[in-house]
Structure 1
Amino acid sequence: MKKAYRALLTTTAALAVLAAPAAVAAAPKKPDRSGLQSRLDGIVAAGAVGALARVRDERGVWRGASGVAELGTARPVPVDGRFRAGSITKTFVATVILQLVDEDELRLDDPVAAWLPGVVTDDRIRVRHLLNHTSGLYDVVRTLPMPPQPEFFANRWRTWTSDELIARALAHPATFEPPGEAYSYSNTGYLLLGEIIEKVTGQPYDAEIERRIIWPLGLSGTTLPGTSPRIPGPHPHGYVPGDGEGNLLDYTRMNPSLFGAGGELISTAKDLDTFFAALLGGRLLPGHLLAQMKEPAVEGRGYGLGLAWWVTSCGIPVYGNDGDALAYQAYSFSTVDLSRQVTVALTPNHTGDLDDLVEAFVSEAVCG
């Protein structure tokens, strides 16, 4: 998907700073966050149309933006804007599954075939394997056309059903056997988890996420759009490669049923920080299930039951997740003690991999 692209004119969004009254000579100096802004600008310069970030630490909350919200304009990226959060959706789905485990409605070691008979035939695959990507089930994404293939654009407004996507994936053999022996990222597993949530509760997975997470936490900027192509509220435009010449096509509006339970979430940086603070702080799950969420799928792999982690440059681990939704990329991580949280969202121009630069930004925010 990475194509050469013409240089983009980017503009840095200025942050509004209120000047202190002259009479308050002893007012504390505002923390210098120029290093964060510089790194955010560097991410845009290296391969993004725009980016926004939110950092919360002992000094308060810093919000920054860089680049433009829409190509061909000088409109700044809204720092509180919404974006497609991609695979961060998986952590919401995993949380609901684990809540159902806590309620004795299902078990992590239940065979998937017992809940979805006739869909998954290998009764060795457990619910746990779907959560931590050790099922071996073929990833549905590998069956789909990607930009700039014409078939990709022909599907822009198509409504995909979960059954349809699962069938596409399961028409292919497992990537490894037996289940649980290796790690292979599979969106198919989370489509199946969405189906299991509905089987257990009688309600679609999105309704359960809303009831159990979004409404109780007051995540007013977070939605599960279903088939709605819109991103409500202020948001940056997202782009995909439109051809083999590096030209970008605005792909902000599209039918997100393609992502389903594996990645349809729309959110804001503040909402994602609120969610991960509640999750890691023990407000959504009891301690023993949160501990299982943090257990690596396989030795040396920083992924557990819908939760990811890595170690910053100063040796401090951070927990959360990241997501790719074609025209948007999002990253949200917190320290174990929740003293520092970092969320970054960007609209890539697809000229390079920005993960290392985002990790450097997170390290700057966490390590100081």
Structure 2
Amino acid sequence: MKKSIYASLLPAIILINVNIQRLTAAPVTRDSSHDFSAAAAEEAIKQFMDKYKVPGLSIAVGKDGKIVYARGFGIADSAADKKVNTQSQFRIASLSKPITAVAILKLAEQGKFSLDDKVFGEGGVLGTAYGTQPYPEGISSITIRQLLSHISGGWQNNGDDPMFHNKDLTADQLISHTLNNQPLKNRPGTAYAYSNFGYCVLGRVIEKVTGKPYEKFMLTEILRPAGVKHMEVGGNTADEKRKHEVVYYSRDRSAYLDNVTRMDAHGGWIATPTDLVKFLWQVDGFDNRPDILQSASIREMTTPSQPNPSYALGWSVAGATWKHTGSLPGTGAEMIRTGGGYCCAVLVNTKQGGDFFKDLDILVKKITGLP
């Protein structure tokens, strides 16, 4: 692609989330009939990049516990004439949520809490550390499970999303402010409303029960044991861009207006696709390598809630397919585990309108042999 095509594009970011769904817990058995084709994958990638004028894209494909393909395409930084390679880091947006969910399930296995424990109020995991007592109606009945499955009753990812307001507040300060000033819309457990804020709270649950900062715990206990080497929570400003991190190209607003570091548990990580595939291997339920979670936890993690038969505990689910997508203006992302033994991640450094995310999903399905 020519640099001039992207010279006028501005770095930008806003968190959005796309969810594809399922009805029952996925089996661990699989149909391995699809054979990966690098040539077919590259042709599909080229068509997608050409259609949406994608500056840069990185992909990793794992099959039966082995990396069968990893490659970068296009531009990482047009001003510095840097190309995307397999070490390039991208913001992964809401792909952060299933990573946080796995940590929560692991801590539940260790007896730190039950998924049905209350989060706020006397006897809750976070107790009365946040907000002013007494809590508004419903807040003291919210459970960890409800936060995981976006059925806590409010704080939806819309114009009132707390995570995109009061950017100078810390996560702790924002939680207190939100509990005091933003009442729930529904009774907890009765309605699905996708919530970035709910996962921000889950990050603080992890910190409370482990006594460690969220990022440190995730790296030492979840990601490094999986062989993940290039993941970290991203920065907020252009000066905080990591050494191998791409530039984000978009016609939307600047990539440095939001508090990305505060998004940690719901949308703050940066990663390479290979790192994401290695993470997926730890929870795919297949028998080619050990999982970080017990099989019962994996079944629970991929069983949807009653209010939304298409979203489980941190994952969009559809039959034997578990996935998540995420976006920031300037970033599109998808990772997927299929019943055919594939684990795949695709990251791009732009976001377009129209059918961009639909076509990104079609691209991933084509590569992994899904209809």
2:342 pairs with 321, 330, 340, which one?
A: 340
Q: How does 1:191-202 map to 2 (within 5 A)?
A: 191-202=200-211
How do 1:1-368 and structure 2 match up within 5 A? 8=6, 32-47=37-52, 48-57=54-63, 61-71=68-78, 75-113=82-120, 114-118=124-128, 119=130, 121=135, 122-139=139-156, 142-143=159-160, 160-170=169-179, 171-176=181-186, 178-225=187-234, 230-241=240-251, 251=255, 256-281=260-285, 283-298=291-306, 301-310=309-318, 317-336=320-339, 339-367=341-369
Q: Which moved more, 1:54-63 or 1:132-141?
A: 54-63
Distance in 1 (alpha carbons) for counterparts of 2:36 and 2:273: 20
> Taking structure 1 as reference, are residues 79 and 254 closer, same or farther at Cα in structure 2, changes over 3 Å only?
farther
Kindly indicate whether the alpha-carbon contact (under 8 Å) linking 1:280 and 1:336 is maintained by their aligned counterparts in 2. no
Cα deviation for residue 75 of structure 1 reads 4.3
Rg larger in structure = 1
**Contact 2:154/2:185 (CA < 8 Å) preserved in 1?**
yes
- Displacement of 1:174: 1.6
Q: Given residue 358 of structure 2, which amino acid in structure 1 is its aligned partner?
A: D
With over 3 angstroms needed to count, the CA separation of the structure-2 counterparts of 1:298 and 1:354, relative to structure 1, is: farther
Question: Secondary structure of the equivalent of 2:55?
Answer: strand
C-alpha contact 1:56 1:62 (8 A) present in aligned 2: yes
Report the Cα offset of residue 126 of structure 1: 0.7
How far 1:321 sits from its partner (Å)? 2.0
Amino acid paired to 2:347: A
- Whole-Å separation in 1 of the counterparts to 2:70 and 2:281: 18
Q: Tell me, in whole angstroms, the C-alpha distance in 1 between the residues paired with 2:189 and 2:61.
A: 36
TM-score in terms of structure 1 length: 0.76
Moved more, 158-167 or 203-212: 158-167
The answer on whether the counterparts of 1:56 and 1:341 sit within 8 Å (CA) in structure 2 is yes
**Deviation digits for residues 189-238 of structure 1, max 9, x if unmatched?**
11111111122122222221112112212211111246686343434311
Q: Is the 8 A contact 1:93 1:205 kept in 2?
A: no
* Aligned-partner Cα distance in 1 for 2:176–2:235: 19
Equivalent position SS for 2:98: helix
Unaligned residue ranges in structure 2 (runs of 5+)? 8-34
The question of whether the paired residues in 1 share the 8 Å contact of 2:55 and 2:350 is answered with yes
Contact map agreement 1:273 1:341 (CA 8 A) in 2: yes
Q: After superposition, give the CA deviation of every residue in 1:13-64 in whole Å (9 maximum; x if it has no partner).
A: xxxxxxxxxxxxxxxxx97533222221232233333222122337962234
Higher relative contact order by CA 8 Å / sep ≥ 6: 1 or 2? 2
Residue 160 of structure 1: how far off its partner (Å): 4.1
Please provide the CA RMSD for this pair.
3.3
Aligned equivalents of 2:46, 2:162: Cα separation in 1: 32
Whole-Å separation in 1 of the counterparts to 2:48 and 2:81: 18
| Percent of aligned pairs with the same amino acid | 25
Q: Is the 8 A contact 2:155 2:161 kept in 1?
A: no
Distance in 2 of aligned mates of 1:91 and 1:349: 21
